[in-house]
Amino acid sequence: MRKGNTVRDAVADWVATGNLKDCSLQEMGDRLGVSRQRIAQVLGLLGHHKPTVERLRLAASPKEHRPTIAETFGEHVDYTGDCWLWMGSTYPNGYGRFRFRGKMQYTHRWAYEAEYGSIPEDKPFVCHSCDVNYPVGDITYRRCVRPEHLFAGTPADNVHDAQRKGRRPSGRARGGG
């Protein structure tokens, strides 16, 4: 293997020259001057003692671009208005949702964390400041993922914010006399 080349580069060169044939990882390592374990690690072929030509070609070819979670997330957002509205799947309560790291997430919470970092433990609610732009009863604001429209708050902050904006009844507690 030429100095400065990676194992992947060496395999890619080997494939490009047409010298590729079915061989063991040991034979391949000997030809490239590296261990068979390193070849297997680089090719992602651990457990395959005699890789096929197709497997080697796939392993040596450049990896296609996989979109980041932010790119995937952004494909489902309508950025045309003041609010950036989630156009993907929603929960029955109107909040956007999507799968991230194997579990369903609220989109406004994910957008907050992507912009500002972790949601503070002492302020576990992510509230919307933009809900004043919608008539009472219109829950479209729940799909807003624009970070500038989101703020972290306590459960009490959330209740007081909703009451102040007329989105939650105020007055005596239920069951009171």
Specify whether 26 is located in the same domain as 85: no
pTM of the model: 0.59
Q: What is the pLDDT of residue 25?
A: 62
Specify whether 29 is located in the same domain as 78: no
Closest CA to 22 of 62, 49, 59, 58: 49
Over residues 16-72, the pLDDT tens digits come to 665 555 566 677 777 777 776 666 666 654 444 455 555 555 555 556 666 678 888
- Asked whether 114 and 150 are in contact (CB, 8 A), the reply is no
Q: CA 55 to CA 34: how far, in whole Å?
A: 19
Residue 136: CB atoms within 10 A of its CB come to 8
Q: Which domain, by its residues, includes 24?
A: 7-60
- Domain-terminating residue out of 60, 86, 101: 60
Specify whether 20 is located in the same domain as 48: yes
Q: How many CA atoms lie within 13 Å of 164's alpha carbon, on the beta-carbon side?
A: 10
Kindly state the tokens that stand for 11. Answer: 């395999």
